[in-house]
Structure 1
């Protein structure tokens, strides 16, 4: 029974580590992925080795299976919490919204405005790039100003140049300071 608990614990560690490795690979961070992969392989070999010592021990097998399931849940939560990388949002509007564009830029988001022809009228599309860790903030700004906007998003694997530089970081920091000052003055 002690072995089953050990296997369960190892799986709870193993699967989130596997999740991190996968994220790093998808984000093209191969050095980080290979480092995490070493830990992943070590845990995998130890846990599976214990299971294979006695395949008739159902507690060990159950520990492995249950640990894998719980580990997947934890790995998913960890991925959401870390929010590694960047996302691009396309925000489609029926009318031009300088208020939204200005609010997003003030908050430190890079915004490019496009004009296009819809089936019956002119449409406006905003391309907005954000760190995934600020995605909720972006959505709240859009929702508060243009609640009927149509939005879709894409995760960026890589990019070069553009607004995502130290300027974006500085503006985001300045915006957060303003928000904190607002909260403190109320």
Structure 2
């Protein structure tokens, strides 16, 4: 296992099992029948956690507001494909997730997706230039059609408390002033 120094992680996230290759904590929604897939979300687990008001990264209760990460389109519409999490866990994801933290990182190719991965109809691989963390007092759990048939979870955030914006400055993801 890679020995990463991650002193600022929330304790419950720091206690998660670590990916042997990268040393990163494995979010609970990225576990698929014992296999780890950082590219896809386990929809069944995401629904269970969201309905039980638990963080999708650390699996601890969401006792207060929930955080959602996405691009400006998600922030504008209020619809998210990534389930709710603690604000501190979302902050950690902004630093640790290579797809988010690195401006030129791209999602893994389809050959790396788990066999039964479901992708929402209309999902785009286009990476946003800005990431928006919305902090909400509540959320609604729903679903949307998947490209391969069936449904995938969708989370609607109607009751925002505030938002935080992050953009790439000199190759580093940095918090910017809220719009």
Q: What range is the shorter-chain TM-score in?
A: under 0.3
TM-score, structure 1 length as denominator?
0.21
Larger Rg: 1
Q: Which has the higher helix share?
A: 1
Which one scores higher on RCO, CA 8 angstroms, separation ≥ 6? 1
TM-score, structure 2 length as denominator?
0.22
Q: Which has the higher strand share?
A: 2
